[in-house]
C-alpha cells in the first residue's frame, strides 16, 4: 500500500497514530469498579479497532490469547503462549486497521520473558558489556530481531543507554552495557541498534536525557532528577545520545527525570519532568540534537509522572512537550487530545509532526511495501542461532572477580557433592533459574544439595562437613526487590553466618548486581560475576570453574569500593 498523506487523514486518525493500544484495553473493560475483569465481546473489539484505527499495538505484559490472560508468573511457563499464537492474535487485530501498526514492547530478555516459551532468553546487556565484543552484540541484536518478528513485534523499546554506577537506582542494574564508559556504551548500543534494525525491528534508545549516576530514586515510584550542568551532560549522556542519533536509531524514549539545567520550571512545587518539558523534548532533542525519528514516552502511569498533574492535563502536556507516541495512554485519551486541538490548547501542527514521524518510521520498517509480512520467521527457524550466539557470549562474559587462594580451575574428580545456598527476593530465581546450575553439576555426575538462605552457623557447619564445594548464589536486579539494590531481611541474614565454615572450598557468585561482591560477599575468597540468570551464563559458570573454558569476561563496571572525602 502507499504511505498515506496527512491530508488524506482525519484529525482523529492522526491522533490515534500517537496511541498504543494495550491488550488489556482491547480485550477487557473496566466495569463496576473492577479493573479489567469483564471480557469485551469480539464484535466490540472489532468495532473499536475499526473506529479508532490505532497506530500501535502493545506487545508486552497482560497478553491475552484466546480469552486467556497470560500475564502470569514466569514459573507458570505452561500458561505462556507460543510465538505463533501471539503473532496470530496481532495479525487478527491488524487486519481491521487501514494503516499497518507498529507492535512494540520492552522485550529486554527477547521475546521469551513472560510471553513466549518457545523463544530464547538472551543474556543481559551488562553480560554483553563483559564480552566487549561489538560484532557479537550486533549478531545478537540481529538474532533478537528475527525472534521478535516471530511474535509480530517490529518495535523494541531498548537498548538502555543511561550511565550508571553503584549508587544509581536499582532499575538500571544489568540493563546497560557498562557504567560511566561513554565510548563503550555508545559502541555496544550502536551495534545492538544496527543488528535489530537490520532485521526490520525498530530500536529505541532510552531514557532521554539519561541518568544522573548519583540519583538513587526510582521514577516508577517518585520524582527523580539530573543534577549536572548542561556542559557536563554533553560530556557524558549527551555524547551517547548524539552518537546513537547519528548512527540512525529509529526511536528514543523520554524519561520522567527532571533536568533543571535545561528546564528549571516547576509544576505544583515539583520540577518539571522531561516527559512534559518542551525545552528538553523538543528544543534539545528534536532541534538542537537533530533527532528526526519517533519520540515515545516512558509509561505515563509511573509514580514519578502521574502524581504531578490530573490525568487529562497530563495527556495534553505530553503532546505539547513534543512526544510522538504516548505509552500507557488509554483509548479514551484520543477524546482528550482531540478536544484540546479543537479548543486551541494543542496546535494541529503538533499532531501532524507526531503522525508524520510515526508514518516515516513505518516506512523505514517496510510496513507499506507490497507483501509485507509481520511474522517473517517461525521460532524453530531462528532460535538455534540465537542460542548459539547467547552461549558464545556467555562464555566470554563470565568474570572472575577474585581468586585469593588460586583455587581455579577446580578438579571435578575431587568434587562429589556441591551445596548451593541461594539468596534472592525472586521466587522464580530459586524455583526455576538456579535449577539450570543444579543440572549442569548433575550432568557431570556430581550430587547437588540446594537450599534457600542460611538459618544459623550450625546449619552451615553441617553443610560444610558434607560438601566438597559450597556456592553462595545471590541475585538482586531491577525491582527484585523493589526499592533497593540489596538483599534485605531474611535474604541478608544468610551473610551473618556465611563463610564461617568451609571458606576454603567456597565460591561467591552474583547472577544480578555486580556490586554484591563488595556489598555483602567480601568474605568470599573466590567470587564470580555472571550479570544475569540466563541458563547460558550458568552453564558457562560451571565450565569456567572446572577449566573447560577460560575466564574471559572483563568487568564492565567499576568495582572499586567507594572512597568518601570528608570536609569540614
Contact between 23 and 62 under an 8 Å Cβ cutoff? The reply is yes
**156: which 3 cell numbers?**
523494541
Domain harbouring 341, CATH code: 3.20.20.300
Q: Which helix (H) or strand (E) holds 506?
A: strand 506-510
Q: What's the rounded Cα separation, in Å, for the pair 389 and 123? A: 10
CB atoms within 10 A of CB 427: 13
Task: With CA atoms as reference, report the closest residue to 434 among 559, 384, 442, 519.
Answer: 442
Q: Does a structural domain hold residue 389?
A: no
Q: Which residues pair with 528 in a beta bridge?
A: 400, 509
Q: What's the rounded Cα separation, in Å, for the pair 160 and 174? A: 10
Longest dimension (CA), the chain: 79
Question: Within 13 A of 75's CA, how many CA atoms are on the CB side?
Answer: 10
Task: With CA atoms as reference, report the closest residue to 282 among 344, 335, 347.
Answer: 347
DSSP 309-347: S-HHHHHHHHHHHT-SBBTT--TTHHHHHHHHHHTTSS-
Contact between 177 and 131 under an 8 Å Cβ cutoff? The reply is no
Q: What's the rounded Cα separation, in Å, for the pair 117 and 129? A: 26
430 and 367 inside one domain: no
Helix residue ranges per DSSP H, 29-82: 42-52
287 and 406 inside one domain: no
**137: which 3 cell numbers?**
552484540
Q: What's the rounded Cα separation, in Å, for the pair 324 and 15? A: 10
Q: Does a structural domain hold residue 164?
A: yes
pLDDT at res. 223: 73
Q: What's the rounded Cα separation, in Å, for the pair 397 and 333? A: 45
Q: Does a structural domain hold residue 177?
A: yes
408 and 366 inside one domain: no
Q: Which helix (H) or strand (E) holds 193?
A: helix 182-197
349 and 427 inside one domain: no
Q: What's the rounded Cα separation, in Å, for the pair 137 and 51? A: 42
C-alpha distances out from residue 54 to 203, 319, 367, 370, 499, Å: 20, 16, 15, 21, 57
Contact between 90 and 59 under an 8 Å Cβ cutoff? The reply is yes
Of 356, 371, 386, which residue constitutes the final position of a domain?
371
Contact between 57 and 90 under an 8 Å Cβ cutoff? The reply is yes
Please report how the helices 348-364 and 311-321 are oriented relative to each other, as an axis angle in degrees rounded to 10: 70
Q: Does a structural domain hold residue 8?
A: no
Q: Which residues pair with 29 in a beta bridge?
A: 38
355 and 431 inside one domain: no
341 and 466 inside one domain: no
**217: which 3 cell numbers?**
530514586
Q: What's the rounded Cα separation, in Å, for the pair 339 and 317? A: 14
Q: Give the 3-state secondary structure of residue 233.
A: helix
First to last CA, the chain: 70
Q: Does a structural domain hold residue 563?
A: no
> Using H for helix, E for strand and C for coil, what is the string for 441-491?
HHHCCCEEEEEECCCCHHHHHHHHHHCCEEEEEEECECCECCCCCCCCHHH
Per-residue pLDDT of the chain (568 residues; tens, 9 = 90+): 899 999 999 999 999 999 999 888 888 765 555 555 578 899 999 999 999 999 999 986 444 544 444 443 344 444 467 888 888 889 999 999 999 999 998 877 666 554 567 888 889 999 999 999 999 999 999 999 999 999 899 999 999 999 887 777 666 778 899 998 999 999 999 999 999 999 999 999 999 999 887 777 776 766 787 899 999 999 999 999 999 999 999 999 999 999 999 999 999 888 999 999 999 999 999 999 999 999 999 999 887 888 899 999 999 999 999 999 999 999 999 999 999 999 999 999 999 999 999 999 999 999 999 878 777 788 899 999 999 999 999 999 999 999 999 999 999 999 999 999 999 998 889 998 999 999 999 999 999 999 999 999 999 999 999 999 999 999 988 666 767 677 888 888 999 999 999 999 999 999 999 999 988 999 999 999 999 999 999 999 999 999 999 999 999 999 987 665 555 5
pLDDT at res. 494: 92
296 and 411 inside one domain: no
pLDDT at res. 458: 92
**99: which 3 cell numbers?**
494503516
pTM, full prediction: 0.93
Q: Range of 152's domain? A: 17-371
Q: What's the rounded Cα separation, in Å, for the pair 331 and 21? A: 7
Helix residue ranges per DSSP H, 208-347: 230-235, 237-246, 278, 303-306, 311-321, 333-342
420 and 509 inside one domain: yes
Overall size of the chain counted in residues: 568
463 and 357 inside one domain: no
Task: With CA atoms as reference, report the closest residue to 101 among 372, 329, 331.
Answer: 372
pLDDT at res. 83: 85
CB proximity list for 434: less than 8 A, separation 6 or greater: 420, 422, 450, 473, 511, 533, 538
Contact between 502 and 454 under an 8 Å Cβ cutoff? The reply is no
Question: Within 13 A of 437's CA, how many CA atoms are on the CB side?
Answer: 32
416 and 357 inside one domain: no
pLDDT at res. 40: 85
Specify the pairing of strand 251-254 against strand 294-297.
parallel
pLDDT at res. 114: 46
pLDDT at res. 71: 41
363 and 435 inside one domain: no
**307: which 3 cell numbers?**
502524581
**513: which 3 cell numbers?**
548486581
Q: Does a structural domain hold residue 559?
A: no
Domain harbouring 431, CATH code: 3.40.50.1700
pLDDT at res. 199: 95
Q: What's the rounded Cα separation, in Å, for the pair 486 and 477? A: 9
Q: Does a structural domain hold residue 391?
A: no
Task: With CA atoms as reference, report the closest residue to 417 among 450, 455, 460.
Answer: 450
Q: Does a structural domain hold residue 483?
A: yes
Structurally, how many domains does the chain consist of? Answer: 2
CA 368 to chain centre: 29
491 and 363 inside one domain: no
CB atoms within 10 A of CB 371: 5
Amino acid at each position: 500500500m502507499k504511505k498515506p498523506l496527512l491530508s488524506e487523514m482525519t484529525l482523529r486518525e492522526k491522533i490515534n497514530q500517537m496511541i498504543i493500544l494495550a491488550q488489556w484495553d482491547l480485550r477487557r473493560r473496566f466495569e463496576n469498579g473492577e479493573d479489567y475483569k469483564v471480557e469485551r465481546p469480539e464484535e466490540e473489539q472489532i468495532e473499536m479497532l475499526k473506529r479508532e484505527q490505532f497506530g500501535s499495538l502493545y506487545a508486552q505484559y497482560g497478553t491475552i490469547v484466546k480469552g486467556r490472560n497470560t500475564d502470569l508468573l514466569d514459573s507458570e511457563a505452561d500458561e505462556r503462549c507460543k510465538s505463533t499464537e501471539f503473532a496470530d492474535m496481532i495479525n487478527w487485530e491488524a487486519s481491521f486497521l487501514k494503516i499497518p501498526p507498529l507492535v512494540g514492547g520492552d522485550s529486554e530478555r527477547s521475546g521469551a520473558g513472560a510471553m513466549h516459551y518457545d523463544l530464547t532468553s538472551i543474556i543481559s546487556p551488562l553480560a554483553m558489556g563483559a564480552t566487549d565484543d561489538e560484532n557479537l552484540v550486533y549478531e545478537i541484536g540481529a538474532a533478537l530481531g528475527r525472534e521478535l518478528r516471530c511474535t509480530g513485534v517490529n518495535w523494541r523499546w531498548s537498548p538502555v543507554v543511561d550511565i550508571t554506577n553503584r549508587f544509581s537506582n536499582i532499575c538500571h542494574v544489568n540493563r546497560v552495557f557498562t557504567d560511566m564508559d561513554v565510548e563503550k556504551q555508545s559502541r555496544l548500543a550502536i551495534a545492538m541498534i544496527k543488528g535489530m534494525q537490520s532485521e526490520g525491528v525498530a530500536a529505541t534508545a532510552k531514557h532521554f536525557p539519561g541518568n544522573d549516576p548519583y540519583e538513587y530514586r526510582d521514577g516508577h515510584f517518585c520524582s527523580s532528577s539530573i543534577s549536572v550542568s548542561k556542559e557536563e551532560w554533553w560530556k557524558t549522556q549527551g555524547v551517547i545520545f548524539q552518537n546513537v542519533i547519528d548512527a540512525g536509531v529509529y526511536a528514543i524514549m523520554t524519561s520522567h527525570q527532571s533536568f533543571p539545567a535545561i528546564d528549571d520550571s516547576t509544576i505544583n512545587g515539583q520540577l518539571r519532568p522531561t516527559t512534559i518539558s518542551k525545552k528538553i523534548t523538543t528544543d534539545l532533542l528534536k532541534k538542537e540534537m537533530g533527532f528526526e525519528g519517533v519520540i515515545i514516552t516512558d509509561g505515563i502511569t509511573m509514580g514519578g509522572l502521574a502524581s504531578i498533574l490530573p490525568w487529562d492535563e497530563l495527556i495534553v502536556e505530553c503532546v505539547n512537550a513534543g512526544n510522538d507516541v504516548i505509552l500507557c495512554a488509554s483509548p479514551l485519551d484520543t477524546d482528550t487530545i482531540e478536544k484540546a486541538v479543537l479548543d486551541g490548547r494543542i496546535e494541529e501542527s503538533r499532531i501532524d509532526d507526531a503522525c508524520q514521524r510515526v508514518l516515516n518510521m513505518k516506512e523505514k520498517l517496510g510496513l507499506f511495501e507490497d507483501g509485507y509480512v509481520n511474522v517473517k520467521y517461525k521460532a524453530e527457524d531462528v532460535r538455534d542461532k540465537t542460542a548459539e550466539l547467547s552461549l558464545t557470549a556467555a562464555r566470554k562474559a563470565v568474570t572472575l572477580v577474585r581468586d585469593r587462594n588460586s583455587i581455579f580451575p577446580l578438579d571435578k574428580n575431587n568434587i562429589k557433592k556441591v551445596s548451593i545456598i541461594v539468596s534472592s527476593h525472586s521466587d522464580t530465581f530459586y524455583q526455576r533459574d538456579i535449577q539450570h546450575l543444579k543440572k549442569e553439576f548433575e550432568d557431570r555426575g556430581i550430587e547437588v544439595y540446594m537450599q534457600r538462605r542460611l538459618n544459623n552457623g550450625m546449619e552451615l557447619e553441617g553443610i560444610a562437613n558434607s560438601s566438597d564445594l559450597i556456592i553462595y548464589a545471590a541475585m538482586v536486579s531491577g525491582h527484585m526487590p523493589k526499592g533497593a539494590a540489596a538483599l534485605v531481611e531474611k535474604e541478608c541474614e544468610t551473610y551473618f553466618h556465611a563463610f564461617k565454615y568451609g571458606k576454603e572450598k567456597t565460591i561467591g557468585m552474583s547472577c544480578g548486581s555486580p556490586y554484591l561482591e563488595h556489598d555483602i560477599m567480601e568474605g568470599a575468597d573466590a567470587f564470580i560475576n555472571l550479570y544475569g540468570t540466563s541458563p547460558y551464563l550458568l552453564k558457562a559458570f560451571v565450565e569456567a570453574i572446572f577449566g573447560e573454558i577460560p575466564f574471559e569476561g572483563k568487568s564492565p563496571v567499576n568495582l572499586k569500593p567507594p572512597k568518601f572525602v570528608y570536609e569540614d
